[in-house]
Structure 1
């Protein structure tokens, strides 16, 4: 079983993190998810990078929405789904099994811990760049940036969904946490 699957339609810098931390991974376009003729190798973690809803960066959003039930089964079965900011002015994550709404607002923020969830190791400093914040979140807020939710988590079945607007690479500790919990 692979450690991680990166949902994207072309090479991204994110991939170097897996190599640096000795994690196995694959990159697949969202259109390949749930394809009966070519099932994906199993992985513990699925990551949807920043900008997934912005057509200037990628065309994966349609495949993500189409495969809503695939993501639901993946998390219910014990997987960890990590979703980043949409990079559009406002966005509702309607394909997730809980209410989550995003507003784009790029800039540095001061981080405060709201809940001591294991995913908070996504960063290792108190000031980071964010591409926005969550305006509505029916889940646990883990970190705030300037008083607004920037990292949230939702237990779902045997797995967890982690959503973040932190616009920096996650730490190796976070990637290893996600793999250990997937």
Structure 2
């Protein structure tokens, strides 16, 4: 990959299934100056969808290549989501990115009952069998509890926020990307 530019920034949107990662990634792009977005759910569609370690390694490599390609093309701010399971995944992904680059990790936190309602009513339908399988995966806390992380962590409880409120919180908390004016202004 290429040498890093002085202002390259990456906003990673993370969270459990149904937390709103894809929605927030899409909603952030119009507020992201010189920005590009990557939703790994879009680029990671496979048949069969194995969702094993090899699949996630491939997904991380693909996202890292796209991030670097956008940066080299002049899109200095990239918003990406739906590709990290835990801190170990982040470390593997980070090694694929050019240095130095600023990373902001936004963790969408949501109460289970709200998350379940979102998963049942959203346009991207899933089966009850899929939701039950995903719910067996323990919630990861390694990203938010990592010591010495090279990213700025931002945990946002979206249980009582709509998309606009979530975007406003993110843009206010990351002035390096979004300036001092909130998304609602």
Task: Note whether the superposition's TM-score is higher than 0.5.
Answer: no
Please classify the TM superposition score into its range, dividing by the shorter chain length: 0.3 to 0.5
Structure with the bigger percentage of helix: 2
Q: Please, what TM-score do these two structures have when normalized by structure 2?
A: 0.39
**Max radius of gyration: which structure?**
2
Q: Which has the higher contact order (CA 8 A, sep 6+)?
A: 2
Q: Please, what TM-score do these two structures have when normalized by structure 1?
A: 0.39
